[in-house]
Amino acid sequence: MRSRIIALILIAILSGSAIVYSVINPRTPGTTEPEPPIPIISLNSTVHILDTTTYKGDMINMELSVEVNTTTTLSAIRINATDPKYNRQGSQMIPLNLTLDAGQLTTQLKISPAFPDGFGMVMAEPDLAYQIDSYTLFYNNSKNYIKTGMINSQLSIMKNTAYDQMDHLDWTVPDQTASVVASAGTLNITSAIPTTFTLSTLINTTGYTRLNYSLSIADANLVMLVDNYTLGPIPENYLPLGNFKGMHNLTLTGTINTGGSLNMSLSLITKRVVFFTVIADNHWAGTGTDGYVFRDPSYYIQQASSPFENVFNVTYIPSKVVHTSTPDSDNLVDYTNTVLTEVGTALNLTSDIWTIGSGTFEQNMGYDLLLVFTNVTMQHLGIVYGNQTGAFNLGVHSRGSHYTGNYRLPPVFADNLIQHEVSHIFGAPDRFTTTSPPSIMTKSTPDAALGDILRGTFWLYQTSWLEQDIQTMTVVLQSFYW
């Protein structure tokens, strides 16, 4: 009896507590308690650019300063920009993953001149002031937190100009019998008797450097050394220096066999070439029915860029990815015509189609090249538009070819295929191993294919060009905006 009374008293007390709580904290039936407010994480933040001018293709240097009042993670920043000429807006997301303690942090950022998000834009045209508008910071701790701010800075792009180092070199001439007059790219070497001469200077090579020269004496037995590496006797009227990047000592030796004067004109021209590249992608990456596993096209474009950079000082910047439809036939030309419209729509180009032809076109709004990729087996592994005497801004690649017995391209050769097709863009023709030495452009006839594979001369094994193709491509490259 006593325990029952105690239980009733406890029930009454608890019921009374509930009534009192309800009165103090009235709640509408069917609602839940509101979430506590998200704490303020970022007290202050600023972003500004460090350089107001840069060259086409160079990364943009910026500085970010943030002040936070608690430990948090700054996961990413989005930068928004405007192209005033075409009235285009674009943005790019830069991962940061910075752990911040309470206090202030300043860090430098390097951002790409390509802004792919939205319709996309690139900072490509010289003497045009692009606008870097605003930024958004993304924090991540117990709650996601976003903070926006204004930048409102302009950035001007400068053209990459040709630079002849011979106009700026100082030659060192040791004591010798020959009289040497060296003035930049013009050398005059005179001796009354047969003699050997030596000159040296410092050069700074950037990518492919070709030393061009002309001689008044054909049998001067010229030999050149870069550091301690001998390049010579010098062939014809050029000397490639593409494997020597940075500061190096250039030494020139030769002979005057019968006495007299040797006049020599030298030029050492370097110039960076940048291509903002649009990727039209039809499920290139992933595992195909053949079992091959491919990565994204941009990965293979970067691989294919290495020989172009070493030989031509060319850089490809993947700037926008457009996901395109699947081919409804194996005809690459028909498929490409469809892709041209799909890319034009996705990029919001003024003509609603990618404009093809020689070089860079204003209708493509700063983009230089369109490279198309599909995982479908087509008639051919690749094509370019036009003939092989000029530059074209479109290359197409597939992962298989009916023409070669339903051959499926292994991933290890993807960059070689891209290098081959892009070389066509710059005028290099198809060659064949029956008549030309091995190169990236030298294919096999059906009868010679097996032998070329066994000998290692098959074109997909190669990454080098023949000298005559280098000469052609060097000239054709000039039809693109530099």
CB-based contacts of 371: which residues, under 8 Å, 6+ apart?
Answer: 277, 278, 279, 280, 297, 301, 394, 395, 396, 397, 418, 421, 422
Report the pLDDT value the prediction gives residue 473, as an integer from 0 to 100: 86
Query: Helix (H, G, I), strand (E, B), or coil: what is residue 393?
Result: coil
| Mean pLDDT, range 14-36, rounded to an integer | 43
CA-wise closest residue to 394 among 421, 427, 433, 366: 421
Q: Which CATH number describes the domain made up of 42-158?
A: 2.60.40.10
Distance (Å) of CA 421 to CA 16, 143, 171, 348, 366 = 84, 49, 42, 26, 22
Give the whole-angstrom CA distance, residue 242 versus residue 410.
Answer: 29
pLDDT digits (tens, 9 = 90+) for 143-158: 678 889 999 999 999 8
Give the whole-angstrom CA distance, residue 346 versus residue 391.
Answer: 25
Report the pLDDT value the prediction gives residue 239, as an integer from 0 to 100: 60
Report the pLDDT value the prediction gives residue 39, as an integer from 0 to 100: 60
User: Which of 164 and 130 is assigned the larger pLDDT?
Assistant: 130
Identity of residue 167: D
Strand bridging mode 42-49 / 286-287: unpaired
Identity of residue 332: L
Give the whole-angstrom CA distance, residue 143 versus residue 73.
Answer: 11
- From 5-9, 200-204, 282-286, the region with the lowest mean pLDDT: 5-9
pLDDT digits (tens, 9 = 90+) for 288-316: 777 889 999 999 999 999 899 878 888 89
**Which residue has 């070439």 as its token pair?**
273
What's this model's pTM, rounded to 2 decimal places?
0.77
DSSP string, 175-221: S-SSEEEEETTEEEEEESS-EEEEEEEEEEE-S--EEEEEES-TT--
Q: Say yes or no: do domains 42-158 and 163-270 share a fold.
A: no
Give the whole-angstrom CA distance, residue 73 versus residue 66.
Answer: 12
Q: Return mean pLDDT, the chain.
A: 81
Give the whole-angstrom CA distance, residue 370 versus residue 258.
Answer: 57
| Mean pLDDT, range 426-439, rounded to an integer | 92
Proportion of the chain above pLDDT 90, given as a percent: 44
Q: Where are the domains of the chain?
A: 42-158, 163-270, 279-303+316-414
Cβ atoms 372, 397 nearer than 8 A:
yes
Report the pLDDT value the prediction gives residue 319, as an integer from 0 to 100: 95
Report the pLDDT value the prediction gives residue 335, as an integer from 0 to 100: 93
10 pLDDT more than 50: no
pLDDT digits (tens, 9 = 90+) for 95-113: 999 998 889 999 999 999 9
Query: Helix (H, G, I), strand (E, B), or coil: what is residue 343?
Result: helix
Report the pLDDT value the prediction gives residue 188, as an integer from 0 to 100: 79
CATH class in words for 163-270: mainly beta
pLDDT digits (tens, 9 = 90+) for 370-409: 999 999 999 999 988 765 455 579 999 999 998 888 889 9
